[in-house]
Amino acid sequence: MTNRVLITGSSRGIGKAIAIKLAENGFDIALHFHSNHSAATEVQQTLSALEVNVSLLQFDIGDRAAVKQAIEADIAEHGAYYGVILNAGINRDTAFPAMTENEWDSVIHTNLDGFYNVIHPTIMPMVQARKGGRIITLASVSGIAGNRGQVNYSASKAGIIGATKALSLELAKRKITVNCIAPGLIETDMVSDFPTDLVNQMVPMKRMGKPNEIAGLANFLLSDDAAYITRQVISVNGGMI
């Protein structure tokens, strides 16, 4: 039976690139979106053309009950995931003195609670399938080094790094690896208004990364060649830190 991977936020950006790359390599995909149904449908068609099985899930990763219900239903219908990629995330950037309660709460709630909400319902079925597995989370250079204007986002991503490392210890003996990808600046909607001169200043390679350059690493971490890599934070950032 083909291995199946859940990728949150795979309707756009990095998640979409990961979904296409994994489908090209034969993985069945649980494709997830939040609000953009038409973008998700387009990706679903692209994946189906690659002749893999695709299920489509919709939820807000911050809505614990909705996430649990959707994931449990998908697993009941199609079986446990071999891989889970916690990719969906948001930013609400502003200097800390001007940061509203809502900007703090929404980023922490979506990004960090999303770790529990999405990964928790997938674990026991993955363990009980006894095939090992792969969990990959998306952090950021901002969660490693901190970034001005992103105190909320840096906190949420640093939290994801801690949670990822702790979970890796719990699951290692089950042959389930748990790693974190920490991108730098990647060309997606999230950074569409980022000034070019700042890119040149911040990135030694003088360009943003492509979503595909994250997808390549995710694909490797899903492969048998990466079976002994766990508890790691792997940066893809053109030399930023």
Q: Nearest Cα to 179, choosing from 167, 193, 194, 195?
A: 167
DSSP 208: P
- Binding part of the chain for ligand NDP, among 12-20, 76-84, 124-132, 199-207 by CB under 6 A, reads 12-20
Q: Is residue 21 near ligand NDP by the rule CB under 6 A?
A: no
| Least distance CB 172 / ligand NDP (angstroms) | 24
DSSP 191: G
Selected catalytic residue, list 81, 82, 153, 228: 153
Q: Is residue 238 near ligand NDP by the rule CB under 6 A?
A: no
Helices (H), the chain: 13-24, 37-49, 64-78, 101-107, 113-129, 141-145, 151-171, 196-202, 211-222
For residues 86 and 17, is the Cβ–Cβ distance under 8 A?
Answer: no
Q: Which residue is nearest to ligand NDP (CB)?
A: 13
Paired tokens of 91: 């930013």
149 Rama class: left (phi>0) / alpha (psi -120 to 50) / beta: left
What are the backbone angles phi and psi of residue 124, rounded to the nearest 5°? -65, -45
Q: Is residue 133 near ligand NDP by the rule CB under 6 A?
A: no
Q: Is residue 202 near ligand NDP by the rule CB under 6 A?
A: no
Total of residues contacting ligand NDP (CB under 6 A): 29
> Cα separation of 231 and 6, whole Å?
20
Is 228 marked active-site?
Answer: no
Q: Is residue 80 near ligand NDP by the rule CB under 6 A?
A: no
Indicate the residue among 44 and 87 with the shorter CB distance to ligand NDP.
87
- Binding part of the chain for ligand NDP, among 29-37, 47-55, 195-203, 225-233 by CB under 6 A, reads 29-37
Indicate the residue among 42 and 127 with the shorter CB distance to ligand NDP.
42
Paired tokens of 67: 């996430």
Pick one of 20, 34, 85, 219: the residue that binds ligand NDP (CB under 6 A): 34
- Provide DSSP, 12-47: SHHHHHHHHHHHHTT-EEEEEESS-HHHHHHHHHHH
The site string for ligand NDP over 85-104 (x = CB under 6 A, - otherwise) reads: --xxxx--------------
Q: Is residue 113 near ligand NDP by the rule CB under 6 A?
A: no
Q: Is residue 135 near ligand NDP by the rule CB under 6 A?
A: no
The site string for ligand NDP over 154-193 (x = CB under 6 A, - otherwise) reads: -----------------------------x-xx-xxxx--
> Cα separation of 152 and 105, whole Å?
8
Q: What is the CA radius of gyration of the chain?
A: 17
> Where in the sequence numbering do the catalytic residues fall?
153
By CB under 6 A, name the binding residues for ligand NDP.
8-9, 11-15, 33-36, 39, 60-62, 87-90, 110, 138, 140, 183, 185-186, 188-191
